[in-house]
Structure 1
Amino acid sequence: MSTLSDLVHAQGCLTDSDVEWLHRLAGDGQLLADLASADIVVWVRTEDASFIAVAHTRPSGAATLFYRDIVGERVRPQWRTQVQGAFESGEIVDSSSPDWFEETPTRVRAVPILANRSKNDPMRVIGVVTRHTNLGEARTPSRQQITFDECANDLFRMIASGEFPDLAAPTSPRRGAPRASDGLIRIDVDGVTTFASPNALSAFNRMGFDDELEGESLAEVTTRILPVTRQVDESLPVVVTGRAPWRTDIEARGVTVSLRAIPLRDHGTRIGAIVLCRDVTELRHQEQELITKDATIREIHHRVKNNLQTVASLLRIQARRTHSEEAREALTQAMRRVDSIAVVHDTLAQGLTQQVDFDEVFDRVLKLVAEVAAAPNTRARTKSTGHFGVLPSEYATPLALALTEVVTNAVEHGLAGQEGFVTIDATRTDENLRVTVADNGHGLPEGRIGQGLGTQIIRTLIQGELGGTIEWKGTDGEGTEVTIDIPLRWIKK
């Protein structure tokens, strides 16, 4: 399915700022649908003067009229005159009689979308939002339903005058954003509560307020229930008075409630506000646990890195005190392998996820190898091209160690006693990572692949742990090329 941006840009009639306005409106589509107990559809004009649906939201507390998604469809003939009238006149157009949709009586309201993008840019209609109300389920409305409907009408009038959505409002968080069904409080221009839904009252009761919210100043109620010693968010006063479209959390008696204020205006004059509230106590506890666990994991990686560096230092000291050239070489290689693993853990200790920017890791590993592996009479130049990308830590550690061995072999054996270069090229697709390491050194004697510990380590890591393949190519005196292919089908995109 095409996104809102794709559908709008395909029409070629609106600017990027218009698209951003529509995105913000569509982001509050669930709020409009729940308050109006109706399906909400956003339409934009096409090049042939018709209209296409670019967003659709179903009500969570009422039956939907559209069981099939209509996003991407053209406006139906029975709605076109109404939608076109709202678009051209800039006024709200209500259906004069019930509209029948699949044998269900409905009432349709078409609201022009005015974009108030800047003071220097005049407002203009950029689309139409329609409200489709199911009349087949009509029943005597409760006080809450009446209030919700009044709030919806206020927001629709603000949409038609370019006052909603509010560009000063922060974008909705992914988790914990309050909805109309979670709790709704309506306050007047003085901040006095004129309506509080049962869920909103329950949230404040859990924080220690035992009376009725209606008739009370929401700011004074909040002040009474907050502990004196607790530091208050500076945005709290403007949220509970409905003066700004902001969000904040309040906490009392171990209960955390998230608040979102939506100022209501009538042609620029503030007439009150809607305050949505949601008990997010459990959600905040989960977030705190995740933060604690993440900090613990990063500390573990930091300590592992320190321990590995200690081991590498011990190996270095032991190598210097060893008289056997063969033993010294073995200890030096072990030290280099430990250092390569430490680089990965150091990267993990700095990040907030278990994903590794392997290009950064390999740059550090490459410098380490070039400094340590070169023999006295060897001058090796290394160059890395291509892009490894982000890899999970379970890929990064064995790959870093394997590439350390491959590049080390190229420097120590391929270029032993001469000047030359080693190039490393990484090519990544959605399904595969290919790494090619080439040198212009001595090449493989008689085309044979070594059977030493380094080669065994490379095979074990690439084939055993990463499920990949490795191939050596080269002839005596003409350099060596090593190609590693690693499948990435198990990595989440």
Structure 2
Amino acid sequence: MRRFFAKKGKKAAVTSIEELCKEHTSLMDEDIRQICDLSRKLRMIADLSQAHVFIDCPVKNGPHAVVVAEASPSTGSSLYRKSVVGQWAYEMYEPAVARTHQTGEPTVRNRAITQEGKTVKQSVVPVKNDRGEIIGSLIMEQDISLQLRHENQLRALSHTTEQLSQTLMGMAEQGSLIPDLIQEALFLVDREGRIDYANTQALNLLAGGESQDIPVDDQLEFLRDLDYQSHEVHYEEVRWRKKTLGVKSISLRKENRRIGTLLMIRDVTELREKERQLMVKSTVIKEIHHRVKNNLQMIASLLRLQMRRAPSKEVKSIFQESLNRILSIASVHEIFSSTGLDEVEILDMMKKIGSMLVVNGRPDKEIEIAFTGKPIILPSDKAVSLALVVNELIQNSVEHAFVDRKYGRIGVHIESLGYEVRVRIWDDGYGLPSKRNEEASLGLQIVRTLAEQDLSGSFSAFPTPEGTEAIVQFPLEEG
């Protein structure tokens, strides 16, 4: 059964339930008012039932119906891309609705397919007036496409396991060499747990050789603690004789009757040991980055102490620049120490550096800094170089762009250009220094060297109508 709707008449001119009912049905005014009252509750019914809800009313002539109202759950998507209000539901496509209108009996949990190809569970309930006459029906449809896929998967799994059991039985009877080439230990056991077949790896796993009269659980005691016989497919890892074994079981069926179990046992000791070593290495790497960060912060503390004894503002400024560079590198190692990875999400890194520079740079000024762009991951070596570049450019804006001004704005934008990354840093300050001053600037020399040599990219800076803009562009990978 398919739930189809067809246009009838001039639907575009019909906008209300009253007009639809008067044009297409023989309902009396009080019946129409009852339908209107019910329509006001449709959204609540849809939310409670988590279903798309319709009100269909029988038309004047024939067993067909017209859709006069609809509602979908507010927490989910609609079953239909377009509204179906005002369209006809013909008897041949809507037998459940026609049956309810004719007999007054409900239809519950009837499966149907919508005109958009979705499988739904459909329930139809009659709507009666005070005289007991059928004046319409309430239809609730729930999308069960996902449930249907699960049912099909289960049927396919049942069919597959039945074929698998027949294939393995054939291999056991014919003495096939194929199971002996498989890395896993294969046991084919019957319903009582006795071994019908075991490949070479399985025989090596048994302590005293195969014994068909003794259940496999008694020969391999670790199987006693596994509830594998009550599952269609089950996987679990166990420790046995200083080894880690991965045990997978598949229930074998024939004509929907369980005839045995296929056990596949594999030694995963080496794999789990490598995973453990990786976890240890990750912990060690995190600890190393944590200690590097602490050491850099200790150096920064010593520089602060030395900076307080500096004889002039110029010397203090030099100390502050060095301090900021150290703290920028420390920010990168702080991210490494928290993630345990050798990669950094650079947008988050730049936010840490920029916020630190604005707070510590010029407390006498109100400088606003904004960061935009999408997250991009960089390896540690490029991240450290980029951290120093960003530090120098933002620090240059903080120190020199807003002379004799209390307010200022700095923007940082990062974007991915295929295989390259572009970082734009701009401000609304006074503009670039002269060419001579730029060549003498240690900060800009550091930026150019890092961009061209460490990042294998390019650096450019130029004046804009609002102030200054600097661009650093480099490839994500070498070559």
TM-score, length of structure 2 as denominator length: 0.60
1:396 aligns with 2:408: no
Measured after TM superposition, the shift of residue 468 of structure 1 is 0.9
Change (3 A) 1:267 1:467: same
1:267-306 map, 5 Å: 267-306=255-294
1:326 aligns with 2:314: yes
Provide the rounded CA distance (Å) in 2 between the counterparts of 1:244 and 1:336. Answer: 61
1:95-244 map, 5 Å: 118=147, 123=152, 143=172, 180-202=182-204, 204-205=205-206, 209-212=207-210, 214-223=212-221, 237-239=226-228, 241=229, 243-244=231-232
Letter in 1 for 2:380: S
Provide the rounded CA distance (Å) in 2 between the counterparts of 1:254 and 1:122. Answer: 41
Provide the rounded CA distance (Å) in 1 between the counterparts of 2:417 and 2:278. Answer: 32
1:466-481 map, 5 Å: 466-474=455-463, 479-481=467-469
Provide the rounded CA distance (Å) in 2 between the counterparts of 1:344 and 1:411. Answer: 21
Structure 1 portions without partners, runs of 5+: 1-114, 131-140, 152-178, 227-235
Structure 2 portions without partners, runs of 5+: 1-143, 161-169
8 Å CA contact 1:435, 1:483 repeated in 2:
yes
Q: Deviations over 1:365-386 (max 9, x none)?
A: 121111112252x321111111
Measured after TM superposition, the shift of residue 443 of structure 1 is 0.7
Measured after TM superposition, the shift of residue 181 of structure 1 is 4.3
1:402-441 map, 5 Å: 402-418=389-405, 419-441=407-429
Where does residue 452 of structure 1 map in the other structure?
Answer: 441
Where does residue 33 of structure 1 map in the other structure?
Answer: none
8 Å CA contact 2:344, 2:383 repeated in 1:
yes
Measured after TM superposition, the shift of residue 268 of structure 1 is 4.5
Q: Deviations over 1:431-479 (max 9, x none)?
A: 111111111101124465252221222122111111111001027x952
Q: Deviations over 1:237-276 (max 9, x none)?
A: 123x463522222233333222111122345543321111
Report the secondary structure of 2:233's partner residue.
coil
Where does residue 337 of structure 2 map in the other structure?
Answer: 349
Provide the rounded CA distance (Å) in 1 between the counterparts of 2:381 and 2:257. Answer: 58
Change (3 A) 1:184 1:355: same
8 Å CA contact 2:222, 2:238 repeated in 1:
no
Q: Deviations over 1:330-385 (max 9, x none)?
A: 22221211111111111111224312111221221121111112252x32111111
Where does residue 487 of structure 1 map in the other structure?
Answer: 475
Report the secondary structure of 1:361's partner residue.
helix
8 Å CA contact 1:375, 1:412 repeated in 2:
no
The match for 1:465 among 427, 451, 454 is: 454
Change (3 A) 1:388 1:470: farther
8 Å CA contact 1:260, 1:276 repeated in 2:
yes
**What's the RMSD between the two structures over aligned residues?**
3.4
Report the secondary structure of 2:320's partner residue.
helix
- Structure with the greater alpha carbon radius of gyration: 2
8 Å CA contact 2:410, 2:427 repeated in 1:
yes
Measured after TM superposition, the shift of residue 324 of structure 1 is 2.4
Change (3 A) 1:214 1:417: farther
Provide the rounded CA distance (Å) in 2 between the counterparts of 1:122 and 1:260. Answer: 23
Letter in 2 for 1:187: V
Provide the rounded CA distance (Å) in 2 between the counterparts of 1:143 and 1:250. Answer: 27
Measured after TM superposition, the shift of residue 281 of structure 1 is 2.4
Change (3 A) 1:210 1:287: farther
8 Å CA contact 1:144, 1:197 repeated in 2:
no
Letter in 2 for 1:463: E
8 Å CA contact 2:402, 2:408 repeated in 1:
yes
1:442 aligns with 2:440: no
Provide the rounded CA distance (Å) in 2 between the counterparts of 1:429 and 1:214. Answer: 66
Provide the rounded CA distance (Å) in 1 between the counterparts of 2:350 and 2:313. Answer: 29
Change (3 A) 1:445 1:304: closer
Where does residue 249 of structure 2 map in the other structure?
Answer: 261
TM-score, length of structure 1 as denominator length: 0.59
Provide the rounded CA distance (Å) in 2 between the counterparts of 1:416 and 1:339. Answer: 25
Provide the rounded CA distance (Å) in 2 between the counterparts of 1:275 and 1:344. Answer: 49
1:368 aligns with 2:350: no
8 Å CA contact 1:467, 1:486 repeated in 2:
yes
Measured after TM superposition, the shift of residue 301 of structure 1 is 1.0
% identical aligned pairs: 29
Report the secondary structure of 1:246's partner residue.
strand
Provide the rounded CA distance (Å) in 2 between the counterparts of 1:445 and 1:431. Answer: 32
Provide the rounded CA distance (Å) in 2 between the counterparts of 1:282 and 1:127. Answer: 34
Provide the rounded CA distance (Å) in 2 between the counterparts of 1:124 and 1:222. Answer: 32
Provide the rounded CA distance (Å) in 2 between the counterparts of 1:198 and 1:392. Answer: 47
8 Å CA contact 2:217, 2:223 repeated in 1:
no
The match for 1:386 among 365, 373, 378 is: 373
Measured after TM superposition, the shift of residue 142 of structure 1 is 6.1
Change (3 A) 1:124 1:454: closer
Letter in 2 for 1:184: L
Provide the rounded CA distance (Å) in 2 between the counterparts of 1:331 and 1:225. Answer: 68
8 Å CA contact 1:201, 1:213 repeated in 2:
no
Provide the rounded CA distance (Å) in 1 between the counterparts of 2:414 and 2:232. Answer: 51
Change (3 A) 1:301 1:215: farther
Change (3 A) 1:336 1:182: same
Provide the rounded CA distance (Å) in 1 between the counterparts of 2:448 and 2:269. Answer: 51
Letter in 2 for 1:257: L
Measured after TM superposition, the shift of residue 388 of structure 1 is 4.5
Report the secondary structure of 2:251's partner residue.
strand
Provide the rounded CA distance (Å) in 1 between the counterparts of 2:255 and 2:351. Answer: 59
